[in-house]
Amino acid sequence: MPRISYKEISRKNFLNSVSRIYFLYGKDKYIIKECKEILLSKLLGENQNNLDLLKLDGENLDLDKLTMSMDMYPISGDLKCILINNIDVEILNSGDLKKLNKIVENVPEFSTIIICQTFCEVNEKKSSKWKKFLSLILESGYIIDCSINLEKELESKIISIAGDKNKIIGRENADLILKKCGRNLDLISSELDKLCSFESEEEIGKDSIEKIVCGNLEYNIFEICKFILSGNSQAAYNCLEKLFLFKEEPILILSIISSTYVDMYRFKVCCDFGISENEISGIFDYKGKEYKIRSAKYNSSNISLNNIKRSIDILLRADEEMKTTTINPRVIIDVAVIKLINLVNKNG
């Protein structure tokens, strides 16, 4: 059977014929959990707490118990479902791995196994164990990739989650939430819960997002860079003060500021060579992080390529000072920010 995207699960005819095994993996844990619930609902209906659903911990998996449970006929329906969270075939000895592979090859027609990899890494390119295990799954089941790769897909997912909570949100405001929270859908869902409770209107507005949603570190640093590049020192230092109050690591703050300037440098150079925004995304692996290109485009409009180079030099020297001297890291960052603002104000 094929490898499929998580989107296929929601289709009406997906479970017209039940497979013996479903393997859920990918970088978006929220999607893995959502797909698991959809599968359980379609396979067992409302009877998800009965004796025909067995939940097992893959980290401490008893393979004999799994075999025995799998071979027992269902009690209250036509199907027995076994849910296993986080199997790591890489750490299994040869005997246990052979036993697990045999289980996968011999799932009876009245049983279905769902494996959810919410944190255990799956690397079939580097691991022969994973490659063999997944190839056996494909003989009688589905491997489902629960990853959202494009920014537009993430925005659509935010709109969908808001809709499930009986609220409307426009794509522009969905993009703002994405910028503030990053691509962590668990965090986004939690922030949307707060937003939906706060927002009195049917549609979630920008003002509510600014008041309620807690921006992640990267978003706050993007804001600092925006203020630096507009020459607004007071706003930049207010944002910086907030980060230090929350005890963010100075080296991480400096690293993300530097990364923002590198993004601008890449954008400027690529534009000089006639490379489009879409091509930049592919060249520098910005897939799923296209907002960085948009931010680089916006921020670099106020600064020349030569001054971006000078700014990166200032940041490199600050990084070296932070790693090799006993100067207070807060002072090093403050001084670097002053130099960056002066560069913008003097030369643009």
Residue 311: per-residue pLDDT: 96
Residue 33: per-residue pLDDT: 92
| Dist CA 130 CA 123 (whole Å) | 7
Write the CA distances from 136 to 58, 83, 112, integer angstroms: 18, 18, 15
Q: What is the pLDDT of residues 297-342, one digit of tens each?
A: 888 888 999 999 999 999 999 999 999 999 999 999 999 999 999 9
Q: What is the pLDDT of residues 74-118, one digit of tens each?
A: 888 888 999 999 999 998 999 999 999 999 999 999 999 999 998
Residue 256: per-residue pLDDT: 92
Give bridge partners of residue 80 from the DSSP assignment.
Answer: 111
Other Cβ atoms within 10 Å of 265 Cβ, number? 17
Using DSSP, state whether 236 is helix, strand or coil: helix
- Tokens 């790591």 appear where? 88
Q: What is the pLDDT of residues 128-183, one digit of tens each?
A: 999 999 999 999 899 999 988 788 889 999 999 999 999 999 999 999 998 888 88
Residue 139: per-residue pLDDT: 92
Work out whether strand 3-5 and strand 141-145 pair parallel, antiparallel, or are unpaired.
Answer: parallel
Q: Residue 348 pLDDT more than 60? A: no
Q: Residue 223 pLDDT more than 80? A: yes
Residue 217: per-residue pLDDT: 82
Give bridge partners of residue 113 from the DSSP assignment.
Answer: 21, 82
Using DSSP, state whether 67 is helix, strand or coil: helix
Percent of the chain with pLDDT over 70: 96
Residue 341: per-residue pLDDT: 93
- pTM of the complete model beyond 0.75: no
Tokens of 322: 């932070």
Task: Indicate the pLDDT class of residue 282, thresholds 50, 70 and 90.
Answer: confident
| Dist CA 251 CA 175 (whole Å) | 28
Q: Are 135 and 24 in contact (CB under 8 A)?
A: no
Q: Residue 347 pLDDT more than 70? A: no
Rg of the Cα atoms in the chain: 25
Write the CA distances from 153 to 24, 47, 116, 147, 283, integer angstroms: 19, 32, 22, 10, 21
Cα 334 to chain centroid distance, Å, stands at: 31
Residue 131: per-residue pLDDT: 92
Q: Considering only CA atoms, which of 132, 139, 113 is closest in space to residue 24?
A: 113
Residue 211: per-residue pLDDT: 83
Residue 117: per-residue pLDDT: 93
Q: For the CA atoms of 102, 94, 143, 62, what is the dihedral angle to 10 degrees?
A: 70
More confident: 183 or 256: 256
Q: Considering only CA atoms, which of 343, 260, 288, 227 is closest in space to residue 268?
A: 260
Q: What is the pLDDT of residues 1-59, one digit of tens each?
A: 688 998 888 776 776 678 899 999 998 899 999 999 989 888 887 665 667 899 999 98
Could you give the residue ranges of the DSSP H alpha helices within the chain? Answer: 29-44, 63-71, 94-105, 128-140, 151-164, 171-181, 185-198, 206-212, 217-229, 233-245, 250-272, 277-283, 290-299, 305-324, 329-347
Q: What is the pLDDT of residues 99-111, one digit of tens each?
A: 999 999 999 999 9
49 burial type by CB count under 10 A (0-12 exposed, 13-18 middle, 19+ buried) = exposed
